[in-house]
Each structure stands twice: as C-alpha cells, then as structure tokens.
A and B are shown apart, each in its own frame.
Chain A
C-alpha cells in the first residue's frame, strides 16, 4: 500500500548501495555477522511475552513488544521489510531488559536477536545527530579506554571537590542542560579513585586462601562506585578468597553490543578473555557486565575460531552474590538494623537467572528486615544508556519503579551500577529518602561492624 513520503524510500536506496558483506546475506540483512534464524524459528507467536515487556506495557503497540520485534526481524530476513529508519525504531526502542526471555515458554533469545539486528542496522545506517555524538564520544572514545575513563573520573572528582559543583548548582547553570541530564547531575555519587591500578594485582585472602578468583572491576562501577568495588574485594577476601585484579582487563563491551557496535564489543571481549586467561572463575558485581561476559559466546557465534574460547570463558563468569551464596559465605554476626527492599536488575534476574541468592545474602544479615518490592524485576529504565537516549520512556519506568518502592524502607538494594544511578535519581527527583546500596555493600558493613565489635571487645577486656 502506498505510504507516501519519498524520504524514507530514498534513504533505503542509499542503504542498499552501501557495502554489503560479499559472503552471504539473509533477505534484506546484507552485512557481516548475520542474525541467527534459529532464534525466530523458536517463536510461535503465542504472545505470552507481551505483558512482560515494559515498552509494550507503556505503549500497547505490537511493534514495541518482544513478539512484534521478533516478527519484524523475521520480516527483514524474509525480504518483506528493508533495514531503514522505521524498522530501526522499534528495534532500538527495546530496553534489552530480557523480561520477555523469562516469560517465553520456548526460551526464545529475544535479547540476542535484538542485538544482532542492531548490529545490522548500525552497519547499514551509521549514527548521526545526538546519538551519533554520544556513541562516538562515550562508547568509542571513553568506555574502551581505562585511562580516559579514569581521567573522566578524575575530572568528576575535581568537579565535586573544587567547589565548581556547588557553584554550578547555585548559579543555575544546570538549567541549560536537558532535564534528564540535569536530574542525573543531581545524584552523581561522590567519586573516589578507581581500585584498578590502585589496588595490587593480587589481593590476598584473609587467612588460608580457599580459592583464587578474578574480578572484573568494570568501567562505570570503578569510576562512579569504586566504594562498591572496595567492598566487594573486602567481602571476598574476608570469605577466604584471593582476588585477582588483572590490570589489562577493560570494559565488558555491553554498552557497545546493546548499541549495535559489535566490532568494538568483540575487541573488548578479546581483551578480557586474554586478561582473565589464567583464572578459573571471573566474578562480577555489575549485572549488566556479568551478563555480557556470560554471552561472549553469543557475540562470537559467527566466528568459528573464537567461539570455543568464548564458550569456555563465558562458563567461568559468575555474579558475586551467587558465588558467595553457593560458596557458603560467612554469616555475619553483627546486627545491621534496617528495613530494606531489593530491586532485581534485569541482567541479573532475567539475564542470569539470579534472584534468590542476593535476597538470601541480605536476609541472613542479623537485623535486616526485607520488604517485598512489587514487580521487583520490572526494568527501572536505566538499561545501560537508555535513560540518555530515551529519556521519556526511561522516566516513565522510573516513576513506576519509585511508586512501587514501599513507604517504610530505609534502603533499596540491587546489584548493578546503572540501576543504582537511575534509582538514586528517582529518590532525588521524587523527594524520597531511601539510601541506594549494592547488595555486597550491606554484607561488607555487617562484616566491618563485626570486626569493629571484636576489636572493641578486646579493648574493653
């Protein structure tokens, strides 16, 4: 049927004269690293994913549902649709939160399929405008480079400590920023120096070492929440693990893979696989990074040389909360008297199937009272850099998340830095008072209190 408007048709023609891969294509997917047919073959269009999808819940539009997106990708592969702006929109409006994968009876890997389709779109239509600038400066220019990230962290420390932050806040300079960036500035955590490079490459266990484990320090986590990384190292060593922090490790690549830049994602993946090659276990305290690391095999699915190595690596990766629980973590004896609720990071609950263990870590701290968060595993809207690229949808999801937070809790715990920033923003924006914490931090506080009480007891004797 006629749709009018020549602009799109024109851009489609441009796309097709681009540089398709010479080896093979799949319908109108013409570029390297083709999407996986098997993933849509598993989908029988039953629709049980619809209500699990935050973007469908908000819009009610089928093309913004997991089933609809899978149908669109299939339509391109069947040659019924072109890779163009209108196809790109629903594919990039997906949060990549994986809630659909939990709901799906046939285990369709929607997230992986979306990432593969984004890889095609980005090769067909390189980014322009704000998104292009963001992608080039942040994703390509900063995240892959530890030093630049550290410099950025250093600038933020300078910004906070020099008095510029308070000056900027007072002068109303912030008003020239878009609202969502302004909201974000308001909650910037107090930035400390990253632990990678500051800590020794091997941090010894307390007492006889049970096992040596590698730890991914992450980029956002180490720059914005180095205190969480410090807590993680303390908790692991307290539990008898020797913690390796290989300095050649880098960003996990999740943000690049989500954005369709699979090439940079693969480079980073190779760097990390090399960095941790001497470790049997790689622990991660950022759900998004952990999930990305566990899916390196998915990233290299079209690379027969890398695939076995990636599979081997991915199998070594585990979230720190699950690792602690499975390895009989030391039950803290000191009491932390607080009421707390737990938010499931999408890439922990849906991406890695880890729900029970972090809750259990919290519950076993004496004095901690857990209050259920309704729909705890619904995305908070952070979704990597989604809150920067899609502020309206991210804001709507954040509002729902904050509405759900029970009134009487003092802390909201979770296992992902993106969620921590987003929910901290919600606390600030809606004038609430809850403290946003990482699960491991709470455990750390309990251990530290226990140590202090032991020292005090010694002194009093």
Chain B
C-alpha cells in the first residue's frame, strides 16, 4: 500500500524464504518495524520477533508453518495484539504470523443463526455488519473495537455480557485449524450439540495459541433482545455494593451485565475521554443491565432498584435513552485505557472469586496496595466474580515494575486461596504462567503439557506460554525480562 520499496535487503535466510513464499510486501524484518511487535496489550514483558509475516489464506498459513517447522524456528499467531497477558508477545526470535489481513466474512446464515468468518475479523465489526438485520455477536470484551475474533478464540475472551450469555467458547460452532506441524484440520460440526468424541472445540478455544492456528471460525449469532434497560447505582460503601450484587443474583434475575467500579477506577474514567459525571466521593458504582423480551423487563428493573435501596444506595437511576446508556457503557468499556490519564503504566489482573467473598477479597487487595505502596483501581464483572484489579505504577521509576508484578501475583494468590482462579478471561500468557501453580499441582500441569505435546510435538508454536517452565517458581519472579535490540 505504501509504494516505496525498502532499500535494505535482509540477509536472514528464513526471512528470504518467507519473502519468496508470500512476497516482499507481506514480510516485515527491519528493526524499526519489528519493534512495534515487541509486545501486545501486556507491556511488562517485551521481546523482538525475528520477522512478521502476513498471511492471506489458510494454505499460506500451512505453507509458512511447514517452512518454520523445517527450519525449527519458533512462531506465534497474532491478531490485533490487544491481549492482556502477553499471549502474542515474543520472548525473542520467534516469527510472528499475523492474521489481521484474513478479515473476510465467508458465509452468513441467519436462518441457522451462524456466520463463518476469518480469524482477523474484528469483534465489534461482526455485530455492526449484522445489526441492521437484527442480530449480534454476544461476547463483547472491552477491546472489541479493535480485537479480532481469532484472538478471542485463542484467549476464550469474555466481556461485560458474559454473565448471561457466556464466554467465547459458548459461541463457537466450528473451527478450521492449521496444526503446529502444518496440517489443515476442521473441528466441530457446525452446531450439532454434543458431537460424539472428545470436545475438541472446547480444548482449542482458550488454548492461547499453543495447539493450532485458527484460520476459519463458525460463530453463533444471536437475535437482538427485544428490549434492554440499564441501571446505574452509586454507593458510599463498597460492601453495600457487593451485597447488592449477591442480592440481585439471589432474586433469580440474571442480568445481561452486572459491573462494578471503585473510586480510583472512577477517578480514571472521569478524567478520560467519556466522563459521565459520576460523583467523585462515592466508593463504588454498579452498572446493571437486563435484556430480553419486553414483558417483564420493568418488573426486573423494579426488583433491582428495590435491592439497591435496601442496601443503602446513595442514588440509583435508569438510563433515559440509548444515548445515555451508550455513554455509560463507553465510560465503562474504555476503563483500562483511561488509566493512562492517572498513571503512566498499569498492570491489570484477572482473578475470579466466588461472588460471596467479594467484600473480604477487596479488603485484602486494599492491604496489598498499602504493602506495595501502589494504588490499585478495581474494575470488575461483579456478577460473575471476575475481578480486574488495575495496579498503577510508573515503569520509569526503578523497582516499580517489579513491585507491581509482585502485587499482581499476590492479588491472584488471594483469589486462588478463597477458592477462585487466576484468570477469568484474559488468559495466562507470559504474565501468569508461574501463578498456574496456585491452582494446579505439578501432575496437573504435566497432564496438560502432555496434551499440548500431541498437537505441538516440538513446542514450536507459542513456546513458553500458558504453563510454568519446570522448576520456575513464583518467589524468584524477576523484573520482566527486557530483550536488548
């Protein structure tokens, strides 16, 4: 697209072979280009790839993978690079296979409520492309403006509305995959429930790019709900907000979304691009949405308002129109990026806890904040107990990155200790591989790496991600490595 040819030839034989295979314009190899790929949305770990190759179809992916196998060069599949656990970040020397140019919709079958798309299709564009026909794609991670569905499959991405609708794995009907050895296989049977044999779709979804490269995805699309209503509730005490969450679920209502933000998170979003005008002195707010057929929505809203009032809510209101509802959601969904306005860097954690333990866990996170002298903002999918503590730090101050990393790890330990998990939707990647030991024994890790070996026998595809390296343990977790370029 940018006509000018690069003046420099590349002497790397692997790069030369890639260029021969896919063309000069489809391969990046200059340091000034590659440095843009040294990390994804998780910036605490960086490494320079050997090259970036853009693929345009399944056959090309297969050819490139076969070449890299022959040359024994490790490789990583990458979508938009908005992941938050370093799943698409190189350790150094990997070839990145970028799938962003594979972004076509191949087939739309609204009668059977499914669509077949290429992996580079952007999440929000999927909904936008079918919304005029009254349909949408449910999983809505906050990065949906930019992230690809291929990346969503790799990370089993969630989103604000997964409380009612489930995460990515609940919306995948079939996959075409290039195995780490180059063979092309199709799994799933386009929506036949309970297909005989192993649930390979379930295994592949969320495998963080370690079992295969997704080249085609059949997704479920849903009919737009007939009606939806959204409530915003301000609290002076975070325990009251937490109790409201449990009480709402106890009524039997399943809200489409049930989100919480604490005061530091509110400070961030209010100084960023989509301020709503939340009071600066509240302890937390809840953003609650119910959707479905029109009849009954108002009853549910009334019941929710009653629960909020019974829990000492300071103020509670229902969005008066779509514009107001849209602003509330924009404010919430840009929450992570908004932290840039109050802190140069942040580390987002992704713990899951039983809902009833919320007040206790928030108390412990507050203590971790004091212990490490770092502010921690909390944005979370309260309805399904998925916490996102955002540890605010400044990487340019020596020692702060290390402290943030340790504080993050302790937050996850708290979650694991109350019977929860270290990740709900962001994946393990580089970031949390050591913390896998909080929830899995050596034997359980080994059982899983044995499964990986069946698909990825030489461990060339996304090596070093998801599982702890043997012998590496949390206590010696060092300053994130920085590969010199």
Most chain A CB inside 10 Å of its own CB: which residue of B36, B54, B93? B36
Let me know if B337 is at the binding interface, CB within 8 A: yes
Docked-complex contact B340 and A71, CB < 8 angstroms: no
Contacts of A48 in B (CB 8 A): 82, 143, 145-146, 334, 337
User: With A47-B41, A89-B2 known to touch, is A106 a contact of B100 (CB < 8 Å)?
Assistant: no
Docked-complex contact A87 and B32, CB < 8 angstroms: yes
Let me know if A408 is at the binding interface, CB within 8 A: no
Bound together, the chains give a CA A173 to CA B346 distance in angstroms of 60
- Shortest CB-to-CB span from B160 to chain A, Å, is 15
Docked-complex contact A84 and B337, CB < 8 angstroms: no
Docked-complex contact B2 and A93, CB < 8 angstroms: yes
Docked-complex contact A45 and B41, CB < 8 angstroms: yes
- Shortest CB-to-CB span from B129 to chain A, Å, is 12
Docked-complex contact B340 and A80, CB < 8 angstroms: no
Contacts of A45 in B (CB 8 A): 39, 41, 43
For A47, the closest partner residue in chain B by CB is B82
Most chain B CB inside 10 Å of its own CB: which residue of A2, A44, A63? A44
Contacts of B50 in A (CB 8 A): 1
User: With A48-B334, A51-B122 known to touch, is A5 a contact of B31 (CB < 8 Å)?
Assistant: no
Contacts of B54 in A (CB 8 A): 60-61
**What does the 1/0 interface line of B1-36 toward A look like (CB < 8 Å)?**
111101111111000000000000000111111011
For A91, the closest partner residue in chain B by CB is B32
User: With A1-B50, A89-B4 known to touch, is A106 a contact of B339 (CB < 8 Å)?
Assistant: yes
Docked-complex contact A46 and B1, CB < 8 angstroms: no
Interface residues of B in 112-151 (CB under 8 A from A): 120, 122, 124-125, 143, 145-147
For A81, the closest partner residue in chain B by CB is B32
Most chain B CB inside 10 Å of its own CB: which residue of A8, A43, A50, A390? A50
Contacts of A1 in B (CB 8 A): 12, 31, 48, 50, 93, 485
Interface residues of A in 25-72 (CB under 8 A from B): 41-52, 55, 58-65, 68, 71-72
Docked-complex contact B145 and A63, CB < 8 angstroms: no
Bound together, the chains give a CA A367 to CA B265 distance in angstroms of 48
User: With A4-B11, A7-B8, A8-B7 known to touch, is A81 a contact of B35 (CB < 8 Å)?
Assistant: yes
Let me know if A291 is at the binding interface, CB within 8 A: no
- Shortest CB-to-CB span from B225 to chain A, Å, is 25
User: With A45-B43, A93-B2, A106-B340 known to touch, is A86 a contact of B33 (CB < 8 Å)?
Assistant: yes
Bound together, the chains give a CA A142 to CA B470 distance in angstroms of 68
- Shortest CB-to-CB span from B10 to chain A, Å, is 6
Contacts of B43 in A (CB 8 A): 44-45
User: With A80-B35, A392-B2, A396-B1 known to touch, is A60 a contact of B120 (CB < 8 Å)?
Assistant: yes
Docked-complex contact A72 and B2, CB < 8 angstroms: no
Bound together, the chains give a CA A87 to CA B31 distance in angstroms of 9
Docked-complex contact A43 and B81, CB < 8 angstroms: no
Let me know if B380 is at the binding interface, CB within 8 A: no
Bound together, the chains give a CA A262 to CA B269 distance in angstroms of 34
Docked-complex contact B273 and A106, CB < 8 angstroms: yes
Docked-complex contact A61 and B337, CB < 8 angstroms: no
User: With A3-B10, A7-B7, A50-B146 known to touch, is A72 a contact of B32 (CB < 8 Å)?
Assistant: yes
Bound together, the chains give a CA A90 to CA B120 distance in angstroms of 22
- Shortest CB-to-CB span from A14 to chain B, Å, is 15
Most chain B CB inside 10 Å of its own CB: which residue of A55, A87, A106? A106
Bound together, the chains give a CA A456 to CA B29 distance in angstroms of 72
User: With A86-B31, A104-B337, A107-B272 known to touch, is A62 a contact of B37 (CB < 8 Å)?
Assistant: yes
Docked-complex contact A71 and B36, CB < 8 angstroms: yes
Docked-complex contact B30 and A86, CB < 8 angstroms: yes
- Shortest CB-to-CB span from B258 to chain A, Å, is 22
Contacts of B36 in A (CB 8 A): 61-63, 65, 68, 71-72, 90
Docked-complex contact A71 and B35, CB < 8 angstroms: yes
- Shortest CB-to-CB span from B439 to chain A, Å, is 27
Let me know if B345 is at the binding interface, CB within 8 A: yes
Let me know if A103 is at the binding interface, CB within 8 A: yes
Docked-complex contact A47 and B340, CB < 8 angstroms: no
Quick one: which of A50, A51, A52, A75 contacts B35, CB cutoff 8 A? Answer: A75
For B485, the closest partner residue in chain A by CB is A80
Docked-complex contact B32 and A84, CB < 8 angstroms: yes
Docked-complex contact B340 and A105, CB < 8 angstroms: yes
For A6, the closest partner residue in chain B by CB is B8
Let me know if B205 is at the binding interface, CB within 8 A: no
Interface residues of B in 319-363 (CB under 8 A from A): 334-341, 344-346
Docked-complex contact A106 and B341, CB < 8 angstroms: yes
Let me know if B98 is at the binding interface, CB within 8 A: yes
- Shortest CB-to-CB span from B219 to chain A, Å, is 19
Contacts of B4 in A (CB 8 A): 89
- Shortest CB-to-CB span from B159 to chain A, Å, is 14
Let me know if B172 is at the binding interface, CB within 8 A: no
Contacts of A60 in B (CB 8 A): 54, 98, 100-101, 103, 120
Contacts of B9 in A (CB 8 A): 4-5
Bound together, the chains give a CA A41 to CA B52 distance in angstroms of 26
Bound together, the chains give a CA A23 to CA B205 distance in angstroms of 55
Let me know if A85 is at the binding interface, CB within 8 A: yes
Docked-complex contact A5 and B7, CB < 8 angstroms: yes
Docked-complex contact A105 and B8, CB < 8 angstroms: no
- Shortest CB-to-CB span from B412 to chain A, Å, is 20
Docked-complex contact A72 and B340, CB < 8 angstroms: no
- Shortest CB-to-CB span from B197 to chain A, Å, is 36
Contacts of A75 in B (CB 8 A): 35
Bound together, the chains give a CA A46 to CA B348 distance in angstroms of 11
Contacts of A7 in B (CB 8 A): 7-8
Docked-complex contact A90 and B32, CB < 8 angstroms: yes
Let me know if B274 is at the binding interface, CB within 8 A: yes
Contacts of B146 in A (CB 8 A): 47-51
- Shortest CB-to-CB span from A91 to chain B, Å, is 10
Quick one: which of A46, A49, A63, A390 contacts B33, CB cutoff 8 A? Answer: A63
Most chain B CB inside 10 Å of its own CB: which residue of A46, A75, A81, A106? A46
Q: 21 A–B contact pairs at CB < 8 A?
A: A1-B12, A2-B11, A3-B10, A4-B8, A8-B7, A8-B8, A41-B344, A42-B340, A46-B340, A47-B147, A50-B82, A51-B122, A55-B1, A58-B1, A61-B36, A62-B37, A71-B35, A81-B32, A93-B2, A104-B337, A106-B273
Q: What residues make up the interface of B, taking CB atoms closer than 8 Å to A?
A: 1-4, 6-12, 28-33, 35-37, 39-41, 43, 48, 50, 52, 54, 80-82, 93, 98, 100-101, 103, 120, 122, 124-125, 143, 145-147, 272-274, 334-341, 344-346, 485
Given A59-B1, A72-B36, 15 more contacts at CB 8 Å?
Answer: A1-B50, A2-B12, A3-B8, A3-B10, A44-B346, A47-B80, A50-B82, A62-B52, A62-B81, A63-B36, A81-B35, A86-B8, A89-B4, A105-B336, A392-B1
What 4 A-B pairs have minimum CB-CB distances, sorted nearest first? Answer: A106-B340, A105-B337, A105-B334, A4-B11
